[in-house]
Every structure is written in structure tokens, then in C-alpha cells.
Chain A
Amino acid sequence: MSKAKTICFALMDPPFEASRTTTALRAIDAALRLGVNVNVFAYEGAVMLPFRHQQPHSNPVHGRDTQEEDHPLPREWVAGLIRTASERGLNFEWVNCGMCVDERGAGDAIDGILRGAPADLWRLASASDNTLIVPTA
């Protein structure tokens, strides 16, 4: 890919519920690895992906403490994507739908997450070369 493209992703699913959260975040990670700028519009449950208060836990069934369990947290994946984009000099904009945030009390997101309106999806899509809708599972 010679010239940096921009791809917009619209996500819907909440964390810890569906495989497609991991698959979609893998696709976003791939975009950054391939030198593509990324816009993300998080709609409905997906606004919980960067929720600051997600916490890892121990797992007595596995016989592991919190550190050994090393539970993945979507907020850390999102933070990692923001960091990766910055390291590679790529643009990365993540907008949480504000009304969806209010419904869920999800206002306390990690640094770098913007609050927006539904019209922001159109703004992000219009500023992108292509858009992928990742609907709810």
C-alpha cells in the first residue's frame, strides 16, 4: 500500500460477549500494521470497550492469581491501538456515541477516546477511503 489510506470501522458489540470483538480489534490492529489510518465509531455496547474501570481478576478454577491469569482487557487493547498508531505516525480517532455512553454510564473512558454524536459516524466515514460495519452478533 503506497499511500496511507484511512478506514472507518463501526463497532457495536460490548466487551466479553462475542468473538467478533476480538476479531474486529484484530482487524483494526492489522490495519495499523499495514500502515492504514483508522477511524472507529463505537455504537451501542461497543462504547464499553474503552471503559476505564475494567479490571483483571484472578481465576481460582485455573489456580492462578491475577498476575498469572493475565486476563485480557479490551480497554488495554484499545489503549494499545492508540499507542501503535502514534508510534507509526498514523491517525487514529475513536469516537464513542454519546447517547450510548449515557445509557450505559460508560462516560469514564481511557485517555484518547472522544465523545460524539451519531452524525460523527458520517463525518468519520466521509473522511475515510472505506467503511466496515461490524454489526452486533
Chain B
Amino acid sequence: MKMLTIVSSGYRATIEEQDDTIVWLTHCLRNAGADTDMLLLGAAANYPVSGQSIIPVCIGGREQRHSPEIHSQVAAFASNGSKVMVLSNDLEDRSIDRRRLLQQVVVVDSSDLPELLSAYDQVWHW
């Protein structure tokens, strides 16, 4: 079964979770045998942009030193044979320069989305 995982809740609780929990879960699913590609929608289209970093969060004197590395996770996912995609209009809406994206990321035109989805057996839209 060929599956498409759509991640559309970019930067949701990423500091608390040290991860994007859906990107992380998708890694786990693939390790468990799922054959899945990934489409990063909305704000998540920014995940493949290089140069992201976290200023250490200090709340009530408790400093958080480890930070999420979603960019690296997406890179690892893409380098393992799965396709990682973003939509062109999500980039345009957020003025994201596509030259800053990971090289492996495929930019899909929004008008091609129906054809893309129809090629998968299941679509898991998180």
C-alpha cells in the first residue's frame, strides 16, 4: 500500500515536543514498514528551509538546551528513498525562497495536487 502523509500543522508544539510529532511519527511508521511519501502543507512548507535554529528557551529559570531539529529529520526522511514535497503556492504565500529548500524536496504546483493524491492508495492528512 502506497501512502501519502500530509503534514499541515507546522510548528505545532515543536518546542515542547522537541519534534514535529507527525514528522517523527511518520519516521516511526516507515521504520515499521509503511511505504509513505510526505507532503508538507501550509506553515510546514518551511521545514525544508535551511538555517533554522532555536534560541534556548528559559522559563522559570529552567533552560531548554536541546532543540528540535525538524529540518534534519526531513532531510533524513528524504535521503532514505521517500519523496518529500511542498506546494508552490504555500511557498509563495509565505515568501519562501525555493532556493533555500533542501535539494531533495519536490515543489508541486497546486493544480497538480488532485492528480498527485489520486496516485496513492491512502492519504493520511494530519
A and B, one complex?
yes
Please list the residues of chain A having a beta carbon within 8 angstroms of any beta carbon in chain B. 10, 12, 43-44, 117-119, 121-123, 126, 130-131, 133, 135-136
Q: Is the interface of B mostly helix, strand, loop or mixed?
A: mixed
A44, A118, A121: most-surrounded residue (chain B CB, <10 A):
A118
Instruction: Give the CA-CA distance A135 to B126 in the complex, in Å.
Output: 5
| Contact status of A123 and B32, CB under 8 A, knowing A44-B21, A118-B25, A136-B9 | yes
User: A-B contact count, CB below 8 Å?
Assistant: 38
Q: Does B34 belong to the interface (CB within 8 Å)?
A: yes
Q: Does B61 belong to the interface (CB within 8 Å)?
A: no
Q: Does B79 belong to the interface (CB within 8 Å)?
A: no
A43 touches B21 (CB 8 A): yes
| Contact status of A119 and B29, CB under 8 A, knowing A135-B125, A135-B126 | yes
B126 touches A122 (CB 8 A): no
Please, which residues of chain B bring their CB within 8 A of the CB of A133? 124-126
| Contact status of A131 and B124, CB under 8 A, knowing A119-B31, A136-B9, A136-B12 | yes
Instruction: Give the CA-CA distance A44 to B31 in the complex, in Å.
Output: 20
Mark out the residues of chain B between 71 and 126 whose CB falls within 8 Å of any chain A CB in the assembled complex. 122, 124-126
B3, chain A: closest CB distance, angstroms: 9
Q: Does B8 belong to the interface (CB within 8 Å)?
A: yes
- Which residue of the partner chain A has the closest CB to B26? A118
Of the candidates A12, A119, A131, A135, the one whose C-beta lies within 8 Å of that of B28 is A119
A12, A43, A121, A135: most-surrounded residue (chain B CB, <10 A):
A135
Q: Does B51 belong to the interface (CB within 8 Å)?
A: no
Name 26 interchain pairs, CB-CB below 8 A, sorted by A: A10-B124, A12-B126, A43-B21, A43-B25, A44-B21, A117-B28, A118-B24, A118-B25, A118-B28, A118-B29, A119-B28, A119-B29, A119-B31, A119-B32, A121-B25, A121-B28, A121-B29, A122-B33, A123-B32, A126-B33, A130-B122, A133-B125, A135-B8, A135-B125, A136-B12, A136-B126
Please, which residues of chain A bring their CB within 8 A of the CB of B28? 117-119, 121-122
Please, which residues of chain A bring their CB within 8 A of the CB of B32? 118-119, 122-123
